[in-house]
Amino acid sequence: MIKKATLLTAFSVTAFSAWAQDTSPDTLVVTANRFQQPRSAVLAPVTIVTRQDIERWQSTSVNDVLRRLPGVDIAQSGGAGQNSSIFIRGTNSSHVLVLIDGVRLNLAGVSGSADLSQFPVSLVQRIEYIRGPRSAIYGSDAIGGVVNIITTRDNPGTELTAGWGSNSYQNYDISTQQQLGENTRATLIGDYEYTKGFDVVAKGGTGDAGAA
């Protein structure tokens, strides 16, 4: 029996910028050229994921959301919470730029790639995904494309969500985002996940085959 329980608490204070201003989610794009412009004016292929999309898909992780995007492949070294890498159109994972509210997430070091396996999906309000090279705008780490995860809510407040599934899967999370000043918001989130998982060894195995 596999038993897993995790508790994740994160706190962030975000200063507003053009990245976090949610005006018309269905038509305005910030990520393509680092300023707001109508989606129809962007030459690069753009996909926008809203909070409503995430809830309709019943995604339990950011990786689950990204797997639905065209040209995206996620490689993960194990189950939930294990290290993961993002690949776009066959490019190296270090050539995929990931932004959180416009701030680079890519890790410094040998791989230089971003790992979203521990990022709470309940924080995601919108994703702007640009396919294809954006090196002229962002540099060499955007050869494959850019994923910008936006966490700012239209209306600050507190949300509590819960989910259940097979094998006694349970997930609970609470998040709050509050205005601290004209240009600052604070975000706090707690998450709990539990599952019995699957038995590693099937019942009725060969362990007692030689018993007298």
Q: What is the mean pLDDT of residues 102-123?
A: 76
Percent of the chain with pLDDT over 70: 75
Q: Write out pLDDT tens, residues 180-195.
A: 887 787 888 888 878 7
**Does residue 12 surpass a pLDDT of 90?**
no
pLDDT of the residue at 17: 42
Q: Is the pLDDT of residue 212 over 60?
A: no
Q: How confident is the model at residue 26 (pLDDT cuts 50, 70, 90)?
A: low
Q: What pLDDT sits at residue 66?
A: 93
- Residue with the bigger pLDDT between 127 and 3: it is 127
pTM greater than the 0.85 cutoff? no
DSSP 107: P
3-state secondary structure the chain: CCCEEEEEEEEEEEECCHHHCCCCCCCEECCCCCCCEEHHHCCCCEEEEEHHHHHHHCCCCHHHHHCCCCCEEEEECCCCCCCEEEEECCCCHHHEEEEECCEECCCCCCCCCCCCCCCCHHHCCEEEEEECCCHHHHCHHHCCEEEEEECCCCCCEEEEEEEECCCCCEEEEEEEEEEEECCEEEEEEEEEEEECCCCCCCCCCCCCCCCC
Sheet with 126-131, edge to edge strand ranges: 46-50, 126-131, 145-150, 96-100, 103-104
Q: Which residue has the tokens 């070091």?
A: 109
- The domains of the chain, with CATH numbers, are 18-153 (2.170.130.10)
